[in-house]
Amino acid sequence: MITIKLDKTLKMPIYEQLIAGIKNLIMTGKLHAHQQIISVRAMAKELGINPNTVQKAYALLKQDDLLYSVAGKGDFITENAVHLKDFKKDEIKELFYTATKQAQNAGMWIDEIFTIIDEAYSSN
Amino acid sequence: MITIKLDKTLKMPIYEQLIAGIKNLIMTGKLHAHQQIISVRAMAKELGINPNTVQKAYALLKQDDLLYSVAGKGDFITENAVHLKDFKKDEIKELFYTATKQAQNAGMWIDEIFTIIDEAYSSN
DNA sequence: GAGTTGTACTATGATATTTAGTACAGTTTG
DNA sequence: CAAACTGTACTAAATATCATAGTACAACTC
């Protein structure tokens, strides 16, 4: 059973949370190439949101070449999705960059940062 | 001359960017305790935005006990602002945590992360 | 007294998000 | 074949957030 967490109280729009959730399922291998993804209407029902919101997320994923649709059948994961980790790595690198810059402004030492990373990496 | 960068094209609201900018000025020592901050109207004029937007930012900073106002005189930096770095550190720690988790999902090794941090920390 | 300060309103416009409902062509299933 | 599914494309409405515009008032400075 595939589960995606949504938090309506967050500022982040539902469709973005859904996209992030699906990307995560792909990266963690829970969704693989050519596998069919749950239908727009079924996903909406399962998450308790509007089908239009799901469709928006799927459309954007299709635009990013992570999903392709077969008329009348459904949506499937693309081959290209394998490279998601590579694209994601660039985004993550940017995350670390801005976080590090903020840490410097806050007067943190690099060893302090390393300790945090170590702690986060080891924890489950 | 104190400058704060605003980018209207960003998704982040102007008032939040302003708050971040002021916090940064405090943390870098460009604004110190009991120092008067530029008035609501003057700040608005200088940044080319509406006074109401500045007021919103100031009100939130006051709520966070980083500013206090003296009727008829203006707004000033609180003593408490000295501890901004400590609060900020907790937020930054959270940033590193989520980034590290995402990095793990993307299949990055901890050494890879350390290299990025090192690079970011050394660059200006 | 004139000009400044913060603060408190009302009102408006723009935009983004989400939901609701309807419709249609293609495919699968019974 | 017919019913039930698929993605897709609309219109419409409700809601929330953000930013702007304008006005007003009490307190303070010069």
pLDDT at B71: 87
Mapped onto helix, strand or coil, the DSSP state of residue A77 is strand
Confidence of residue B34 (pLDDT cuts 50, 70, 90): very high
User: Which two three-digit tokens encode residue A48?
Assistant: 């308790």
pLDDT at B1 over 80: no
Q: What is the mean pLDDT of chain B?
A: 94
pLDDT at A105: 86
**Torsions phi, psi of A74, nearest 5?**
155, -165
Tens digits of per-residue pLDDT, B2-33?
689 999 999 999 999 999 999 999 998 999 99
Interface contact A118-B110, CB threshold 8 A: yes
Range B48-70 average pLDDT: 97
Share of chain B above pLDDT 90, in %: 90
Task: Count other C-beta atoms under 10 Å from residue A53's C-beta.
Answer: 18
What CA–CA distance (Å, rounded) separates B53 from B3?
17
* Residue type at position B62: K
Confidence of residue B47 (pLDDT cuts 50, 70, 90): very high
Could you tell me which of B31, B58, B15, B23 has the C-alpha nearest to residue A106? B23
What CA–CA distance (Å, rounded) separates B30 from B22?
9
Share of chain B above pLDDT 70, in %: 98
Query: Lowest-confidence range among A8-17, A64-73, B1-10, B97-106?
Result: B1-10
Pairing of strands A67-70, A74-77: antiparallel
pLDDT at B2: 66
CA B39 / C1′ D28 distance in Å: 14
Could you tell me which of B57, B65, B56, B52 has the C-alpha nearest to residue B4? B57
What CA–CA distance (Å, rounded) separates B84 from B71?
25
Mapped onto helix, strand or coil, the DSSP state of residue A35 is coil
Q: What is the mean pLDDT of chain A?
A: 95
pTM for this entry: 0.89
What CA–CA distance (Å, rounded) separates A9 from A84?
28
Question: Considering only CB atoms, which chain A residues are within 8 Å of B28?
Answer: 105
| Shortest alpha-carbon distance between residue A28 and chain B (Å) | 6
pLDDT at A56: 98
**What is the C-alpha R_g of chain A?**
18
Instruction: Indicate the helix (H) or strand (E) that contains B28.
Output: none
pLDDT at A2: 66
Q: Do A110 and B118 touch, CB atoms closer than 8 A?
A: yes
The reply to whether B28 touches chain A by the CB within 8 Å rule is yes
pLDDT at B15: 98
Range A61-78 average pLDDT: 96
What CA–CA distance (Å, rounded) separates A104 from B29?
13
CA B33 / C1′ C17 distance in Å: 41
Could you tell me which of B54, B52, B53, B49 has the C-alpha nearest to residue B37? B54
Tens digits of per-residue pLDDT, B72-114?
999 999 999 999 988 999 999 999 999 999 999 899 999 999 9
